[in-house]
Structure 1
Amino acid sequence: MQAADTRPKRATQPRPAALPRRAEPDARRQSLIEAAMRVLARAGANGASVRAIAQEAGVSPGLVGHYFTGIDALIAETYTHVDAMVTRALDAAVAAAPPLPRARLEAFVTASFTAPIAQPALLATWIAFWSLVTSQPQIARQHDEQYAGYRARLEGLLREAGVAEADLRHAAIAVTALVDGLWLELCLSPQCFSSEEAGAIARRFLGTVCGGVA
């Protein structure tokens, strides 16, 4: 038999507690963009300074400079983020619609009358962006690109719904103008009419544009 080991055993040292991880760069960048959205909605473009956005995000102004070259770059990135958010909402509405050309078109158009697109805070953010179109070339380019992208997607859906090729451009411009007007009034004065009424108006107009094609 082996003799019992009588040597004193070393006490097991507890592992040090894990240090809290610093926010990942992408998460920190995203938090600054979301803070910029809130500041733009609340204070407009004139109130959207590096200091104000840093305070909203709970970080130092220097950290904003670490991720963005300046306030113009941050606002431009925020504009891109907001447009992507709207695009995702439109894509989700089309994906959830019945697989019929007219139903997909109507889903794309009427999605602008419900959340997350139709809400006063988002309108206030857009107004801040629009106020910079005439003074910020980058914002002007983004506005043109985003409008062209929306119209191109709408033209494709109108084509699938039976609108003649020669009429597509004017039809897309007309539908976009109708959607923008209804969306604006819904956000400014939601008590005037409901999202359901806005949808009904839009669908009736689409009926005339598509010539009764289902």
Structure 2
Amino acid sequence: MSAVASPPAFRRAEPDARKLSLIEACARVLARSGTAGASVRAIAQEAGNSPGLVSHYFGGVDSLVAATYAHVDGQVAAALDDAVFAAGTNPRDRLEAFVTASFAPPIADPALLATWIAFWSLVTARKDIASQHDEQYAGYRARLEALLDDCGVPQHSQRRHAIAVTALVDGLWLELCLSPGCFTAEEARDIARNFLATIIS
């Protein structure tokens, strides 16, 4: 008797691929039209899927937006991880790589900024997004504190330094994406490096 063939792998992967296509479509719609334009119909049309799939996989547009926020944050975190890994083993190089990666693609991208602004606009309107925002930024600062610790920054100073560096990076990133003619990515990196030099002895 012949063995029963197992289902093709692509069938098992299909739901994940469809969910990802909706998440990526949601990010594009948010970047283009903001939260006001992020309807089930618009997102489904962007993904080339039926509106019913949004409800099937996410229960509604609010959950899809939250999943998209988590996905985009994960992409940013992966880009930061890649930069740190490429910097090697020197603690200061790794810290600088983490901080300055925001001034180069794929993070320094006007489309990413537009999507992020849409998420930020929901922070005051939706408690779940506000909580997600707090968790994601806490995670960023925790990673930054660990890198500062590796560079010998005293533990009692790490939290405030991490807050300051985060604010500096956010401000430079915003301006670099909004008005790239005002200063260059290299200038942004130099400003960040100079600030880090005031923290690390």
Q: CA RMSD in A?
A: 1.4
Q: Give 1 or 2 for the bigger CA radius of gyration.
A: 1
Residue 20 of structure 2 corresponds to residue 30 of structure 1: yes
Kindly tell me the number of residue pairs found equivalent between the two proteins.
192
Residue 124 of structure 2 corresponds to residue 113 of structure 1: no
**Structure 2 partner of 1:46:** 36
Q: Residue 144 of structure 1: which of 119, 134, 151 is its match?
A: 134
**Structure 2 Cα separation of the partners of residues 99 and 44 of structure 1:** 41
**Structure 2 Cα separation of the partners of residues 91 and 23 of structure 1:** 26
Kindly provide the amino acid, as one letter, of the partner of residue 81 in structure 2: D
Residue 174 of structure 2 corresponds to residue 181 of structure 1: no
Residue 168 of structure 2 corresponds to residue 207 of structure 1: no
Kindly provide the amino acid, as one letter, of the partner of residue 94 in structure 2: R
TM-score by length of 2: 0.93
**Structure 2 Cα separation of the partners of residues 63 and 98 of structure 1:** 43
Q: Residue 198 of structure 1: which of 183, 188, 196 is its match?
A: 188
**Structure 2 partner of 1:77:** 67
The alpha carbon displacement at 1:23 in A equals: 7.4
Kindly provide the amino acid, as one letter, of the partner of residue 72 in structure 1: D
Runs of 4+ aligned structure 1 residues displaced above 2 Å come to 20-23
Q: Percent identity?
A: 71
Higher helix share: 2
Q: What are the superposed Cα offsets for residues 60-107 of structure 1, whole Å, 9 maximum, x if unpaired?
A: 111211111101000000000000000000000000003111000000
**Structure 1 Cα separation of the partners of residues 121 and 84 of structure 2:** 30
**Structure 1 partner of 2:149:** 159
**Structure 1 Cα separation of the partners of residues 65 and 45 of structure 2:** 16
Q: What are the superposed Cα offsets for residues 21-44 of structure 1, whole Å, 9 maximum, x if unpaired?
A: 797000010000000000000000
**What are the within-5 Å matches in structure 2 for residues 113-132 of structure 1?**
113-132=103-122
